[in-house]
Amino acid sequence: MSGNSSTSRKTPDPVPASGTSPPLGDKRAVPGLALYTVLVPVLAGAAVLTAAACAPAMGVFLAVLTLALTAWSARRLAGLAGRAEGERCLLTAKLMQSQKLAAVGELSSGIAHEINNPLAIISQEAELCGALVEAKGAMDPELADCLAEIARQVARGRDITRRLLDFSRKMEPVTQLESLDRAVEDMVVLVEKEARLRNVNVIRRYDPDAPRLLIDVPLLRQAVINLLTNALDALEEKDQAGGEEAHGTIVVSTWRSGPGEAAITVADDGPGVARENLARVFHPFFTTKPPGKGTGLGLSITHNIVERMGGRMEVVSEPGQGAAFTIHLPLKGETP
Amino acid sequence: MKLLLIDDERDFIETMEKRFKFRKIDVTAAGSGAQALEILGREEFDVAILDVRMPGMDGLDTLKEIKKRHPLMEVIMLTGHGSVESGARGMSLGAYDYVLKPVDFSVLLDKVEMAYERKLLNVAKNA
Ligand SMILES: Nc1ncnc2c1ncn2[C@@H]1O[C@H](COP(=O)(O)OP(=O)(O)OP(=O)(O)O)[C@@H](O)[C@H]1O
Ligand SMILES: [Mg+2]
């Protein structure tokens, strides 16, 4: 499993320098392992042999030297082992997070199926109800209003179940060669138009030599518009809190996040994600927005899409400073 | 490639038809969502260009219905008054792209070609 979400607490960097934030779970080559397994033992052995053949004073010196050498070597090896263990723990935690998301996805698609049937019956009955009253010539505006409201709420319920089913659908991505900026530009244009009305600045930082990637273009667009919608929502919150001078900026950048990776970052300078929520933002149904405004599905869908393309997601946020969500995608675009 | 243009604006349809025909693309026009569905019931198309704001059945409802009946056809949404919410909904309903009008013809043509390529890939996959 390669798609992992990671969370970290740093000041969001809306202009990621290329090559920063190394991919997590990266197999770093242990430098000079041969030093500890070959060179140190050979040196120690040589010291013992030399000591046997020369003056006692020299022997003492060599003994001390060997002691220091082996002690240092053992310490370094213990350090390396500790670090490897730490990395493995981190990877396990990420794997569990990913499996948890998958399990919740499955559960919610089951629930969505179950809820669809009663929703269908409610809407049919409401329609029938309207028709019956109408036939009796007894329809009055208030009743019509009630029936229309029932229909609206059913539609809302259906929308949620549809998104849920979407979320758990295990559709294979259909990939095409496309550059990231071309894939996301239309979504940015759409957001820009609405952002202007709200005094929000949208800044593009597209990598001029962005490579073309194998991506599922419409799915990636969907992932990106979810991030953009969240950024706009976050800035609206800030606007309400901050009054006059609070305007807000969204920075959309495409960049090389590693040797085999390209990335899209959507950063805003809104209120950011509260520390205690950082690990939960990708969970389905996790939302801090009022009912009717957010269902908490946007980021879990986005996460799911990115994972299906063999990528991973990352969030960086400092409360009060803003949030930056990054989609990392493998350059080859091949899903494992 | 067979292209279906769905828009209630006659002028727009006419110029678009002309320009696509000039590029030797087989294009058919529909004046409403209902008419589009009727045409799609008789004939198969590869890509549709669909206006979001239409009287009667609106673009998003049409998109939903199209994707239910013809999941392999790709749909490019065109809109003059794009809202982010409608864009997000359109993409989650399976649109290929969501483009603001006025759109440069060569850009649109490029998108139509990418959408067509995707359709072929999808057909090959499902074969
Ligand atoms: N840019 C952001 N700044 C601050 N908080 C964010 C940002 N993006 C997401 N969040 C937090 O993560 C939560 C989950 O986001 P998600 O997109 O999954 O759901 P939603 O936006 O609440 O609802 P939906 O996307 O279904 O309409 C949000 O409610 C918000 O608390
Ligand atoms: Mg959201």
Residues of B in contact with A175 (CB under 8 A): 121
Instruction: Please give the domain boundaries of chain B with CATH numbers for all domains.
Output: 2-126 (3.40.50.2300)
**Which residue of chain A is at minimal alpha-carbon distance from B88?**
A225
> How does residue A244 score in pLDDT terms, banded at 50, 70 and 90?
low
Q: Give me A324's structure tokens.
A: 């930056």
Q: CA nearest A217: which of A264, A260, A251?
A: A264
Alpha helices in A55-203 (DSSP H): 56-135, 141-168, 180-197
* Range picked from A12-26, A154-168, B80-94 for highest mean pLDDT: B80-94
- Rounded to the nearest whole angstrom, what is the distance from the C-alpha of residue A231 to the centroid of ligand 1? 8
Q: Are A2 and A334 a contacting pair, CB within 8 Å?
A: no
pLDDT in the model for residue A106: 74
pLDDT in the model for residue A7: 52
pTM of this prediction?
A: 0.77
Measuring CA to CA, how many Å separate A209 from each of A130, A188, A205, A214?
60, 19, 12, 16
Average per-residue pLDDT for chain A: 82
CB contact under 8 A, A190 and B117: no
Ligand 1 pocket by C-beta < 6 Å: which residues?
A 226, 230-231, 234, 268, 270-273, 281, 286-289, 294-300, 323
Asked if the model's pLDDT at residue A3 lies above 90, the reply is: no
Q: CA nearest A249: which of A263, A270, A233?
A: A270
Index of the ligand 1 atom closest to the CA of residue A270? 3
A6-26+176-330 is classed CATH 3.30.565.10:
yes
**Which residue of chain B is at minimal alpha-carbon distance from A176?**
B118
Segment A12-41, tens digit of pLDDT: 444 333 334 433 333 444 556 777 778 888
Cβ atoms within 10 Å of B122's Cβ, excluding its own: 16
Q: What percentage of chain A carries pLDDT values higher than 90?
A: 42
Segment A256-287, tens digit of pLDDT: 999 899 999 999 999 999 999 998 999 888 99
Pick B93 or A24 by higher pLDDT: B93
> How does residue A44 score in pLDDT terms, banded at 50, 70 and 90?
confident
Evaluate the omega torsion of the peptide bond into residue B102 and state whether it is cis, within 30 degrees of 0: yes
Sequence ranges of the domains in chain A: 6-26+176-330, 31-172
Helix, strand, coil distribution of chain B in percent, nearest 5: 50, 20, 30
Interface of A with B (CB under 8 A): 163, 166, 172, 174-176, 178, 186-187, 189-191, 193-194, 217-218, 221-222, 225-226, 228-229, 232, 301
pLDDT in the model for residue A323: 97
Supply the residue whose CA is at minimum distance from atom 29 of ligand 1. Answer: A287
CB contact under 8 A, B84 and A218: no
Distance (Å) from the alpha carbon of B106 to chain A's nearest alpha carbon: 14
* A18-27, A138-147, B27-36: range with lowest mean pLDDT: A18-27
Segment B41-64, tens digit of pLDDT: 999 999 999 999 999 899 999 999
ipTM over 0.90: yes
Asked if the model's pLDDT at residue A336 lies above 50, the reply is: no
